[in-house]
């Protein structure tokens, strides 16, 4: 992924505490996906996924939600490199 299309999203994933290690392994096995923190008491995981487009992020979230052992997965943050966006036009047509 080049700097011109760098995009990340943060997910909060919940699993049963007894399934946490297995879910963490599944998540870390997905391309562009990494578990950054987990709480063995609550079964919550902080997951970051790096993707090229908004649609890729949506598909990644759906994939996480469908993993065996995942109870919930929610998007909590999305960031796309500002260099990936064209500059907004100013009134009167000047850029």
Which tens digit of pLDDT belongs to each residue from 4-50?
A: 567 999 999 999 999 999 999 999 999 999 999 999 999 999 999 99
pLDDT at 4: 52
pTM: 0.78
Structural domains of the chain sorted by starting position, each given as residue range(s) with its CATH number in brackets: 10-81 (3.30.70.920)
pLDDT band at 83 (very low <50, low <70, confident <90, very high): low
Q: Which H helix or E strand runs over 62?
A: helix 54-65
Residue where the block lists tokens 């995009």: 7
The strand pair at 44-51 and 7-15 is best described as antiparallel
Asked if residue 8 lies in contact with residue 53, where contact means CB atoms within 8 angstroms, the answer is no
More confident residue, 63 or 1: 63
């Amino acid at each position: 992924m080049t700097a011109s299309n760098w995009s990340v999203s943060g997910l909060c994933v919940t699993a049963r505490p007894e399934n946490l290690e297995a879910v963490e392994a599944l998540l870390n096995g997905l391309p562009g996906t990494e578990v950054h923190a987990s709480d063995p008491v609550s079964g919550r995981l902080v997951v970051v996924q790096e993707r090229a487009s908004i649609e890729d992020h949506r598909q990644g979230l759906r994939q996480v939600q469908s993993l065996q052992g995942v109870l919930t997965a929610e998007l909590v943050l999305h960031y796309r490199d500002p260099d990936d966006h064209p500059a907004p036009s100013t009134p009167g047509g000047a850029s």
